[in-house]
Amino acid sequence: MERGFTIWFTGLSCSGKTTVSQGVAEELLRRGLNVEVLDGDVVRTNLSKGLGFSKEDRDTNIKRIGFVCKLLSRNGVVAIGAAISPYRATRDYNRKEIGDFVEVYCKSPLDVCIKRDVKGLYKKALAGEITNYTGVSDPYEEPLNPEVVLETDRETEEESVGKVIRKLEELRYIQPAAAAQYSEEEEEKVKKRLADLGYL
Amino acid sequence: MGLFDKLRFKGRRVLVVGLDGVPFSLLKRLSEEGKLPNWTQLMESGSMKRMNSVHPCVSSVAWATYMTGKNPGKHNIYGFVDRNLGSMDVFIPTSRDMAGKTLWEILSQAGKRVVVINVPLTFPPREVNGILISGFLCPNIDKIAHPKELAGVLKEMGYRIDVDAWQARKSLDKFLEDLHLTLDKRIEAMFHFMEREEWDFFQLHIMETDRINHFLWGLWEEGDTQYGPEFIKYYQKIDGILGRISAMLDRDTRLIILSDHGFCGMKKEIFLNHWLQREGWLKFREENPKSVKDIHQESKAYSLIPGRIYVNLAGRESSGSVRFPDEYERIREGVKGGLLGMRDPDSGERIIENVFKREELYHGPHYNEGPDLVAIPHNGYDLKGNLDKKELTYKGPLVGMHTYDDAFLYIKDAEVGTGNNQFGVMDVMPTILKLMGVSSPEDIDGQTLL
């Protein structure tokens, strides 16, 4: 069985967590891994239904997602959590609980996120119609040592996905794509072909 | 194809022939000498310009740049070999390592049907709307195609992935025989799919030109009476193929022919790791090092083919020991200065024409994995990455090498709207997309030439 691990996407609302996490999931599926995505927005409709946005409720939500990620990871699944998870201590709690934990910070300036405002919630928060909205009326604590920082206002989706995949390869959570392309015998064959041409 | 389909495709079809490693200057010369009648005719009805390749100018990097329209800092392909930063194992980058969507993937997404044959760095075949037969990095014909079932058709045809270049070291006659047969089979496959498949975009890649250049260029240049004429004969065969293709195309299909780099005669192979070791930049843990895995942690720099120099950087190379930015810069300056002063021990000629720092060549998310310096040799000196050589130079059976500024681009019935060497291989992709009425992605580096 492959070794499981958790990729944790954190960042402001509309910073690209869902988009990039889906791209990463697709690439990992393509490589034959078992992948499960726990998206904050989706989780709040079932696993964390009824929880609000107070600090306490937010922490409970993140710890629940972390708990499921832990169970999945130890059973060989790549668990992907994608939630604002604004508090550093709670993310670090999950890191400690899970162990094999790759934190991906979707870094995008607040004004860019406000402009994107996919769900129209920033508008409401700025108008005071909703309270406890991260970045507007609630804090967001940036990660201090995330494994990956994605500058989603400057990178394309595919570049961001590539950065996460590379890091996973580098950390040896997944096999580098190249190594997986050839059997030993095939690699020798191709290397010989290159050597015969003076390309090696 | 029905009338309705024909109307749908009107003015939007493109057929590309890639001639690997064929110089602008060679085609011009042979055409002027009257040896390439079809090519001469094509020149009259289109526009051909001399094109820059990419640094380093090898096929995998150049065709990755062509098919993504991006610089290596974005597409992540820097050579035929690279090192795994975690383990320092040397590996062969494949299409899976190439970041970014390819020309044919973008066309597929736009609903166009594509047929792509033999382009370097397309193995393993990534999915397209149509057919993709990958190139010479494919080890086994069963794995060569998308869709997979085509392997059967190709096997039946006797399709050949590549020539056996080792033969050239034993018998040039056998090598030539192989070159002809491989080309014949490639062309047979091309016409097979060209006639049977519906397509909006078709690309055939001829690798054999690069192969013949590597082993016969020098002989032709020196006027060898046996192999000089064989060399010309091979180019005339390709001229005939281009004539056949051109004659088959309707007026609504644009023909594009291009190469990825030029070629020139090779005087000597230069072993940069030997030089780095001699100058005290590189140390090995073993007496006879086999791979970059065997470099000593105290090493400051090492080289991968061709002319790529990497600083042994802590936090990037797992064996890295260079920690501070000022030390990094001091090493780059020192190695650059030394390389520029390097001379051929026999003739006293300078070997290196220029040394680029990575920030002068690359940008993008894979910038950090790229070489810290890229050395560009004077024509005639081919930079190698071997680790176990005890001499700086060597003269072997390889008699041709790549050049940067002598590739070409030809477009039939259109004007390449820029001067010779005012553009590069990365500009071709947006040009093709424009011809086909498909918009270019925003993150590419190339610009349309129309």
Mutate to test the interface with A, among B89, B92, B162, B398 (most CBs of A within 10 A): B92
What's the whole-number average pLDDT of chain B?
A: 94
Backbone angle region of A92, left / alpha / beta, with phi > 0 → left and psi within -120 to 50 → alpha = alpha
Residue B251 at interface with chain A, using a CB cutoff of 8 Å: no
* Chain B residues 52-111 within an 8 A CB cutoff of chain A: 58, 74, 76, 80-82, 84-86, 89, 91-94, 96-97, 99-101
* Chain B residue nearest residue A149, CA to CA: B365
Measured between CB atoms, which of B91, B166, B385 is closest to A196?
B166
Cα–Cα distance between B152 and B141 in angstroms, integer?
Answer: 9
Structure confidence by residue, pLDDT tens digits, B197-231: 999 999 999 999 999 999 999 999 999 999 999 99
CA distance A195 to chain B (A): 9
* A199–B443 CB contact, under 8 Å: no
pLDDT at position A178, please?
54
**pLDDT surpasses 90 at B84:** no
Q: What's the full length of chain B, in residues?
A: 450
CA distance A87 to chain B (A): 28
Long-range contacts of range B124-130, CB-CB < 8 Å, 24 or more positions apart? B124/A181, B124/B94, B124/B95, B124/B96, B125/B95, B126/B95, B126/B96, B126/B102, B128/B104, B130/B104, B130/B197, B130/B199
Cα–Cα distance between B342 and B276 in angstroms, integer?
Answer: 11
* Chain B residue nearest residue A167, CA to CA: B86
**pLDDT surpasses 50 at B6:** no
CA distance B369 to chain A (A): 10
The question of whether A15 is a catalytic residue gets the answer: no
Residues of B in contact with A196 (CB under 8 A): 164-166, 168-169
Check: CB of residue B71 under 8 Å from CB of residue B445.
yes
Residues of A in contact with B97 (CB under 8 A): 176-178
Across the A/B interface, how many CB contacts are shorter than 8 Å? 88
Mutate to test the interface with A, among B63, B75, B88, B96 (most CBs of A within 10 A): B96
**pLDDT surpasses 50 at B367:** yes
Domains and CATH numbers, chain B: 13-265+401-435 (3.40.720.10), 268-394 (3.30.1360)
Cα–Cα distance between B133 and B141 in angstroms, integer?
Answer: 9
Residue A29 at interface with chain B, using a CB cutoff of 8 Å: no
- Kindly report which listed range (B37-51, B78-92, B144-158) carries the lowest average pLDDT score: B78-92
| Averaged pLDDT, groups of 10, chain A, 200 residues long | 85 96 91 89 91 93 97 95 97 95 96 94 94 94 93 91 89 70 87 89
**pLDDT surpasses 80 at B243:** yes
**Nearest residue to B56 (alpha-carbon basis) of B369, B274, B305, B276:** B305
Structure confidence by residue, pLDDT tens digits, B161-204: 999 999 999 999 999 999 999 999 999 999 999 999 999 999 99
Ordered by start, the domain boundaries in chain A are 5-196
* Chain A residues 137-176 within an 8 A CB cutoff of chain B: 155-156, 158-159, 162-163, 166, 169-172, 176
Residue B131 at interface with chain A, using a CB cutoff of 8 Å: no
Task: Decide if the complex's ipTM is over 0.90.
Answer: no
% residues pLDDT > 70 (chain B): 98
Check: CB of residue B132 under 8 Å from CB of residue B125.
yes
Cα–Cα distance between A155 and A151 in angstroms, integer?
Answer: 6
* A192–B91 CB contact, under 8 Å: no
pLDDT at position B199, please?
97
Structure confidence by residue, pLDDT tens digits, B19-58: 999 999 999 999 999 999 999 999 999 999 999 999 999 9
Torsion angles phi and psi, residue B262, rounded to 5? -95, -170
pLDDT at position B382, please?
97
CATH number of A5-196: 3.40.50.300
Mutate to test the interface with B, among A181, A192, A194 (most CBs of B within 10 A): A181
* Chain A residue nearest residue B212, CA to CA: A197
**pLDDT surpasses 80 at B393:** yes
Torsion angles phi and psi, residue B343, rounded to 5? -125, 155
Residues of B in contact with A187 (CB under 8 A): 92, 139
Cα–Cα distance between A39 and A30 in angstroms, integer?
Answer: 20
% residues pLDDT > 90 (chain B): 86
**pLDDT surpasses 80 at B5:** no
Q: How many angstroms separate the Cα of A12 from the Cα of each of A16, A90, A91, A132, A138?
A: 9, 15, 14, 13, 11
At A81 the three-state DSSP class reads strand
Mutate to test the interface with A, among B20, B80, B216 (most CBs of A within 10 A): B80
**pLDDT surpasses 50 at B9:** no
CA distance A144 to chain B (A): 18
Residues of B in contact with A186 (CB under 8 A): 139-140
Measured between CB atoms, which of A178, A192, A199 is closest to B58?
A199
Instruction: Tell whether the torsion through CA atoms of B361, B96, B121 and B137 is positive or negative.
Output: positive
* Chain A residue nearest residue B127, CA to CA: A30
Residue A179 at interface with chain B, using a CB cutoff of 8 Å: yes
Residues of B in contact with A190 (CB under 8 A): 92, 137, 139
Residues of B in contact with A180 (CB under 8 A): 96
| Model confidence, pTM | 0.77
* Chain B residues 197-236 within an 8 A CB cutoff of chain A: 211, 214
**pLDDT surpasses 80 at B261:** yes
Cα within 13 Å of Cα(B339), Cβ side: 33
Average pLDDT over residues B338-351: 97
Cα–Cα distance between A181 and B124 in angstroms, integer?
Answer: 7
* A178–B97 CB contact, under 8 Å: yes
